Amino acid sequence: MESIISVADLRKEFKVFRHHRGVSGAIRNLFTHEHRLVKAVDGVTFAIEPGELIGYLGPNGAGKSTTLKILTGILVPSSGEVRVSGRVPWRERRAHVARIGAVFGQRNTLWWDLPVIESLDLLKHIYRVPADRYQQNLNTFRDLLGLDEFLQTPVRSLSLGQLMRANLAAALLHDPDILFLDEPTIGLDVVAKERIRQFIQQINRQRATTVILTTHDLSEVEKLCERVMIIDHGRLLFDGQLEELRQRFGGERELVVDFAEVYEEVSVEGAEVATREGQRVTYRFSRGAVTASTLIGRLSAKYRILDLSVREPEIEATVRRIYEERLLDK
C-alpha cells in the first residue's frame, strides 16, 4: 500500500532573535540581529498508511505543532522531504488543503458572528461540497456530535466544548482524506473529552479517514491510538505500537494488597514493597521477572488477604521514564 504521508529527514530551524530591553535596547534591536537557532524539528522520518489513527506525543515545545504545520502546508521546512497524498503541501497549497481537515487546539476556524449552521454553509461553498453530500455529512455530524443544540447559536456564544464540536464538523464536511488534530480535547471536561474521542474513533473507523492527533494527554492516546510517535527536542524517540511501548518501557507493575491484619513482615520474593499504610501494602514488580498470579499465590500462602488489585503502569509514567532516562537515545 502506498503511504498517504511520507516524511524523510524533516528539519525545521527557527531563528530566535535576542531582544534587548528598554530604550537603548530598542535601538540596539534595530541594528543588531543577534539570534540563536532553535531546531524545532531535527531530522524526523516516518510514513503513515491510509486509515491509521496516530497519536503524536510530546511535551510542550517538542516539535509536535511545527510538524503538523509543515504537513498542513502552513510552514515550509528548512530541509527534508514531505509527501502528503503525493503532493508537497506548501508547493500546491490549495490542492493540498482541499483534501485535508485540520483543527488546531482552541483556534476557531468559524466565523465569529455567524450562527454555526451559516458558517458550515459557507464552508460548503468554499470547499465546493456537492449539496447532497453536504446534507448527508451534516446529518451524520448533527447526530454524532449533537450539533442540534447549538446549530443556530452564533459561534462567539459557544462553550469551549461546543466550539470544538462545531470545528470538528467544519473540518470534515468536505470528506478529507486526512484529519490533523492539534490537542483536540485540551481544556475540556471529562464528558466532553469522551464525546470527542468517540467521534474521532468513529470517523476513523467508518470513513477510513487517516487521523493524526497531537496531545500531551496520554490517556487520550491510550484510548484512541494503536500507533504512537513520541517526539522530544525535535527528534522521534519512539515510533511503534502502543502495546510495544508499554512492554518495552512500562515494565513496572504494581500490586495493591489489603491484608486482614497488620503484619510485621510483608516481604515477598520477586517484588519490593513500594508503600505501606496500615493493612494496605503496595508492591512493585517487573513484568518480565514474575507474573501477577505467581505473586498472589506466594502472598496468599503466607498471609490472609482481604482484597487485591493489579495496577498497570500509566503510560504517562512510562513516557516520563523515556524522557528522564533517555532510554531511547542512541
CA distance 191 to 207: 24
- Please give the DSSP secondary-structure letter assigned to residue 209: -
107 interacts with another protein by CB under 8 A: yes
Q: Please report where in the chains the cell 485540520 appears, as a residue.
A: 102
The site that binds another protein (CB under 8 A) totals a number of residues, namely 28
67 interacts with another protein by CB under 8 A: no
95 interacts with another protein by CB under 8 A: yes
Q: Which of residues 120-179 bind another protein (CB under 8 A)?
A: 122, 125-127
Q: Please report where in the chains the cell 480535547 appears, as a residue.
A: 185
- Please give the DSSP secondary-structure letter assigned to residue 280: E
Contact characters 282-311, another protein, x per CB under 8 A = ------------------------------
263 interacts with another protein by CB under 8 A: no
Q: Are 210 and 221 in contact (CB under 8 A)?
A: no
Q: Find the Cα–Cα–Cα–Cα dihedral 238, 240, 244, 245, rounded to 10°.
A: 30
Cβ closer to another protein: 15 or 18?
15
Among 46-54, 107-115, 238-246, 314-322, the segment contacting another protein (CB under 8 A): 107-115
Among 66, 137, 185, 210, binds another protein (CB under 8 A): 66
21 interacts with another protein by CB under 8 A: no
Among 5, 54, 72, 84, binds another protein (CB under 8 A): 72
C-alpha dist (Å) from residue 214 to 63, 82, 182: 10, 18, 5
CA distance 209 to 287: 36
Q: Least distance in Å: CB of 94 to another protein?
A: 5
Q: Are 76 and 90 in contact (CB under 8 A)?
A: yes
CA distance 304 to 321: 35
74 interacts with another protein by CB under 8 A: yes
93 interacts with another protein by CB under 8 A: yes
76 interacts with another protein by CB under 8 A: yes
CA distance 68 to 183: 11
**Footprint of another protein (CB under 8 A):** 14-15, 29, 66, 69, 72-76, 78, 90, 93-95, 97-98, 102, 104, 107, 109, 111, 113-114, 122, 125-127
